[in-house]
């Protein structure tokens, strides 16, 4: 049995002391926190005050130009490489922009590849492939007297536009699986745009260029 002190057991005194210590610790922590906050506030006031003083001192003495300039070699107004690497800064190469700059004369050279199977002039004969005069704007697979594949006939509800023809000429087999045009495709977008510009001239009434 533990001895009784003022009617309280030793254990309860220990518990009380521990509680007291804990409260003391808490008070100390609170005090410390106060000191930190006060310190931060002081620092803020000092910073504000000094910038205010600095403004007073330099007021009306704003230099026209910076006292020194960091000139880099070859510095221009052009965006830096870092800037141009941003996606929105990179110019998008669209079919419309390629067509706007396309050269029909270059396209005629590309069209030599087609002439093994196609004629381009008005009223030209169908060969292995149909005559291509007035192709742009005309219904797909609609040239008289030519027997088209099922693959191309399945698309005969639409007319040839620039995007469609560009896709077909990039890879006939990918654009119209099952087509009987055995031609690998014109790989370079610039060459296809030139070819489209040439095809556009082989027409009495070509559709307007895409915007």
Q: Which is closer to ligand HEC, CB of 62 or CB of 144?
A: 144
Q: Which is closer to ligand HEC, CB of 61 or CB of 147?
A: 147
Min dist CB 139 to ligand HEC, Å, is 8
Contacts of 128 (CB under 8 A, 6+ apart): 116, 117, 118
Our finding on whether 98 is near ligand HEC (CB under 6 A) is no
Per-residue contact flags (x/-) with ligand HEC for residues 104 to 133, judged by CB under 6 A:
---------xx-xxx---------xxx-x-
Tell me the window of 42-50, 77-85, 97-105, 180-188 that interacts with ligand HEC (CB under 6 A). 180-188
Structure tokens at 48: 């504000």
What is the C-alpha to C-alpha distance for residues 84 and 73, in angstroms, rounded to an integer? 18
Report phi then psi at 40, rounded to 5: -60, -45
What is the C-alpha to C-alpha distance for residues 10 and 4, in angstroms, rounded to an integer? 7
Q: Which of 150, 100, 108 is nearest to 132 (CA)?
A: 108
Q: Which residues bind ligand HEC (CB under 6 A)?
A: 113-114, 116-118, 128-130, 132, 135, 140-141, 143, 148-149, 151-152, 165, 169, 179-183, 186, 195
């Amino acid at each position: 049995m533990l001895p009784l002190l003022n009617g309280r057991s030793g254990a309860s005194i220990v518990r009380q002391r521990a509680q007291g210590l804990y409260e003391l610790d808490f008070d100390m922590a609170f005090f410390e926190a106060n000191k930190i906050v006060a310190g931060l506030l002081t620092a803020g006031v000092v910073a504000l005050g000094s910038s205010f003083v600095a403004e007073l001192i330099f007021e009306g003495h704003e230099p026209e130009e910076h006292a020194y300039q960091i000139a880099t070699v070859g510095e221009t107004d052009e965006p830096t490489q870092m800037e141009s690497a941003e996606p929105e800064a990179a110019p998008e190469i669209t079919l419309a922009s390629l067509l706007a700059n396309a050269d029909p004369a270059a396209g005629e050279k590309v069209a030599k590849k087609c002439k093994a199977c196609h004629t381009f002039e008005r009223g030209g004969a169908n060969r292995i492939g149909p005559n291509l005069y007035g192709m742009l704007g005309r219904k797909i697979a609609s040239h008289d007297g030519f027997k088209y594949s099922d693959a191309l006939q399945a698309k005969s509800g639409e007319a040839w536009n620039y995007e469609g023809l560009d896709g077909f000429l990039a890879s006939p087999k990918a654009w119209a699986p099952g087509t009987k045009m055995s031609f690998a495709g014109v790989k370079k977008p610039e060459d296809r745009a030139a070819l489209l510009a040439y095809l556009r001239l082989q027409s009495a009434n070509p559709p307007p260029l895409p915007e």
